[in-house]
Chain A
């Protein structure tokens, strides 16, 4: 077991419900969870069980109704919109099911764009963007637009876009759901490698059972609760090289 001082992500007694007209549906009802730094944690469970809702609360995209949420030791509840944006800018990367790439931008520009907002110098931004694209194996595709890329390549651009920010936290919501098996495999392996090589805390949620063998830790969720918390034996994964942040 990994024994780190503070978990990278922590949720305590989190509640979240949505109201549709007069009907209130509770999605998370007193959920508690902590995610360790520097590994790939996979939350698996059937559609509609609240995985995405949990991810959006942990990543500061959406506030919880009640309970405490902290990321990198910093409480997220009570931060206003601007402060949350700032936190996400500095510390988080996202990969979604949709690739969400600007049709007008080349792969390189997609990755470099957020770096400009991070206030990086031109050269630093260029180096980081190129390094990220090389890391996801797209060095020969850097100057192509989304229309000229395959689905798998587009998702790799999205991963590079998140990776280039060098975030401590990387969130992925159904990153493989719009990909075929081979590309899905490649994407989850890539996320795993990022956790190991960069010490990034990767939280991935998915209903795709094929991903189960590829995580350091597997949480099974149903109806807004964690049913099972399991560590996969380290045959798939070499132990992190102690660079967790």
Chain B
């Protein structure tokens, strides 16, 4: 069967180009926005996603990893009583004030971690030999992209909360949201901590399980226990998502994202349906002739829907291509962008929905395809 939709699209491509561009740009915008939001707000959870722990234990009600309060170190023994737990490690969060390098003060988050080769914290971001350098007293590691902000280079020194620190190395994948991450050993971090209420107590305990797949079950079991003071266990995945959502909506960025997505969708749909409708009206006498010959209005609607879906597919292809290039470019420039499968799928669905809605919107112009108007 002759595909009227495809032939028309190819032959009158100029007519459909605005629609393809509108769909493509709408898709690209959604994709980049999603990647940026995931990248930026995913940064809030870098402590979790950059580590290999399966469970996180913190103060009950903690909404985001940066909001932690000290818990009892004795909870560790409770964790070890569970046969699924392989390793437990404390994590100390210290808010710091960085001085030096002519910066005039930068607010930093000091992460006190186990510098051992099997350490869980920042296992993905720090190679074992780099971690080992944290054993030196007062040694810290920062993200490569933060060096200029801190006004130091590798080997440079500065002070945090009035204590001297030495930058022994840089890594990537340590960038934080709302401040600068500084990684130190637990001992160094304790020295930097001026808050007497912490008294060396960890902000979190993180644990690895023999079988990571059991994380949810073990967390539930552990949450049923009592007696070591207040604590709460989350799986790493849950806690990362909790952190990201907190930032997304606490900062109002979430509402902004949804708002922009709505606008982009609306504008894209208007442009696309206008272009499709113009194409229909341009051939309205031909459509009317087909109807005179007995081709039903329903079948004619399908032609338009097919055109809309092709426009959507073409726009999507363009958006994917350009989006891929832009995201690769952003990664090279250390711009935080992240894409995961569900979000990409959501973008694809959104774009196809846009095309579909536009197709449905432009169908109204088919009403003018009345064969009686062909008679003079």
A interface residues, Cβ below 8 angstroms from B: 52-53, 55-56, 59, 61-62, 81-82, 85-90, 92-94, 96-98, 100-105, 109, 112-114, 116-118, 122, 125, 145, 161-162, 165, 173-174, 177
Establish whether residues A90 and B294, one from each chain, have CB atoms under 8 Å apart when the complex forms.
yes
B291 CB contacts on chain A under 8 angstroms: 85
If A102-B4, A113-B2, A173-B374 touch, whether A162 touches B294 (CB-CB below 8 Å) is no
Contact flags B281-301 to A (C-beta < 8 A → 1, else 0): 001011011111111110100
* 30 contacting pairs across A/B (C-beta < 8 A): A52-B375, A53-B375, A56-B372, A59-B292, A81-B297, A85-B295, A86-B296, A88-B293, A88-B294, A92-B294, A93-B293, A94-B371, A97-B376, A101-B286, A102-B8, A103-B11, A104-B7, A104-B11, A105-B4, A105-B7, A109-B2, A112-B2, A113-B1, A116-B1, A117-B290, A122-B1, A125-B1, A161-B293, A173-B375, A177-B376
If A103-B12, A104-B7 touch, whether A98 touches B372 (CB-CB below 8 Å) is no
- For chains A and B in complex, what number of residue pairs have CB atoms within 8 angstroms? 101
A85 CB contacts on chain B under 8 angstroms: 291, 294-297
Establish whether residues B290 and A114, one from each chain, have CB atoms under 8 Å apart when the complex forms.
yes
In the bound assembly, the distance between CA atoms of A174 and B375 in angstroms comes to 8
In the bound assembly, the distance between CA atoms of A195 and B117 in angstroms comes to 94
B374 CB contacts on chain A under 8 angstroms: 94, 96, 98, 100, 173
Establish whether residues A116 and B285, one from each chain, have CB atoms under 8 Å apart when the complex forms.
no
If A97-B376, A103-B11, A104-B8 touch, whether A61 touches B371 (CB-CB below 8 Å) is yes
Establish whether residues A94 and B376, one from each chain, have CB atoms under 8 Å apart when the complex forms.
no
In the assembled complex, how far is the CB of residue A61 from the closest CB belonging to chain B, in whole angstroms?
5
Establish whether residues B289 and A89, one from each chain, have CB atoms under 8 Å apart when the complex forms.
no
A117 CB contacts on chain B under 8 angstroms: 290, 294-296, 299
A104 CB contacts on chain B under 8 angstroms: 4, 7-8, 10-12
Establish whether residues A88 and B292, one from each chain, have CB atoms under 8 Å apart when the complex forms.
yes
Establish whether residues A96 and B375, one from each chain, have CB atoms under 8 Å apart when the complex forms.
yes
Residue of A nearest to B282 (CB): A103
Establish whether residues B289 and A94, one from each chain, have CB atoms under 8 Å apart when the complex forms.
yes
B376 partner, pick from A52, A88, A112, beta carbons under 8 A: A52
B289 CB contacts on chain A under 8 angstroms: 94, 96, 100
In the bound assembly, the distance between CA atoms of A105 and B9 in angstroms comes to 11
B288 CB contacts on chain A under 8 angstroms: 100
Residue of A nearest to B371 (CB): A61
Establish whether residues A55 and B375, one from each chain, have CB atoms under 8 Å apart when the complex forms.
yes
A62 CB contacts on chain B under 8 angstroms: 372
Give the interface size class of chain B: 20 to 34
In the assembled complex, how far is the CB of residue A54 from the closest CB belonging to chain B, in whole angstroms?
10
If A102-B8, A104-B11 touch, whether A61 touches B372 (CB-CB below 8 Å) is yes
If A56-B372, A103-B12, A116-B1 touch, whether A92 touches B293 (CB-CB below 8 Å) is yes
Establish whether residues A173 and B376, one from each chain, have CB atoms under 8 Å apart when the complex forms.
yes
| Other contacts beyond A61-B372, A85-B297, A117-B296: 20, CB < 8 A | A52-B376, A55-B375, A56-B372, A59-B292, A62-B372, A85-B291, A86-B294, A88-B293, A88-B294, A89-B296, A93-B293, A104-B4, A109-B7, A113-B2, A114-B290, A117-B294, A117-B299, A122-B1, A162-B293, A173-B374
If A62-B372, A173-B375, A174-B376 touch, whether A94 touches B292 (CB-CB below 8 Å) is yes
Residue of B nearest to A54 (CB): B375
A98 CB contacts on chain B under 8 angstroms: 285, 374
B4 CB contacts on chain A under 8 angstroms: 102, 104-105, 113
Establish whether residues A61 and B285, one from each chain, have CB atoms under 8 Å apart when the complex forms.
no
In the bound assembly, the distance between CA atoms of A116 and B295 in angstroms comes to 10
In the bound assembly, the distance between CA atoms of A47 and B211 in angstroms comes to 89
In the bound assembly, the distance between CA atoms of A81 and B371 in angstroms comes to 12
B283 CB contacts on chain A under 8 angstroms: 102-103
B8 CB contacts on chain A under 8 angstroms: 102, 104
Among A93, A100, A162, the one with the most B-chain Cβ atoms within 10 Å of its Cβ is A100
In the bound assembly, the distance between CA atoms of A93 and B1 in angstroms comes to 19
Establish whether residues B294 and A114, one from each chain, have CB atoms under 8 Å apart when the complex forms.
yes
Residue of A nearest to B10 (CB): A104
A56 CB contacts on chain B under 8 angstroms: 371-372, 375
A94 CB contacts on chain B under 8 angstroms: 289, 292-293, 371, 374
Establish whether residues A105 and B2, one from each chain, have CB atoms under 8 Å apart when the complex forms.
yes
B285 CB contacts on chain A under 8 angstroms: 98, 100
Residue of B nearest to A125 (CB): B1
In the assembled complex, how far is the CB of residue B30 from the closest CB belonging to chain A, in whole angstroms?
31
Residue of B nearest to A102 (CB): B286
A82 CB contacts on chain B under 8 angstroms: 296
B292 CB contacts on chain A under 8 angstroms: 59, 61, 88, 92, 94, 96
Residue of A nearest to B290 (CB): A114
B293 partner, pick from A52, A101, A165, A177, beta carbons under 8 A: A165
Establish whether residues A113 and B290, one from each chain, have CB atoms under 8 Å apart when the complex forms.
yes
Establish whether residues B294 and A87, one from each chain, have CB atoms under 8 Å apart when the complex forms.
yes
Residue of A nearest to B295 (CB): A117
Establish whether residues B295 and A89, one from each chain, have CB atoms under 8 Å apart when the complex forms.
yes
Residue of B nearest to A101 (CB): B286
Contact flags B305-329 to A (C-beta < 8 A → 1, else 0): 0000000000000000000000000
B7 CB contacts on chain A under 8 angstroms: 102, 104-105, 109
In the bound assembly, the distance between CA atoms of A56 and B375 in angstroms comes to 8
Among A56, A145, A174, the one with the most B-chain Cβ atoms within 10 Å of its Cβ is A56
Contact residues of B between 7 and 24, Cβ < 8 Å to A: 7-8, 10-12
Residue of B nearest to A55 (CB): B375
Residue of B nearest to A173 (CB): B375
Among B7, B293, B295, the one with the most A-chain Cβ atoms within 10 Å of its Cβ is B293
A92 CB contacts on chain B under 8 angstroms: 292-294
In the bound assembly, the distance between CA atoms of A81 and B291 in angstroms comes to 11
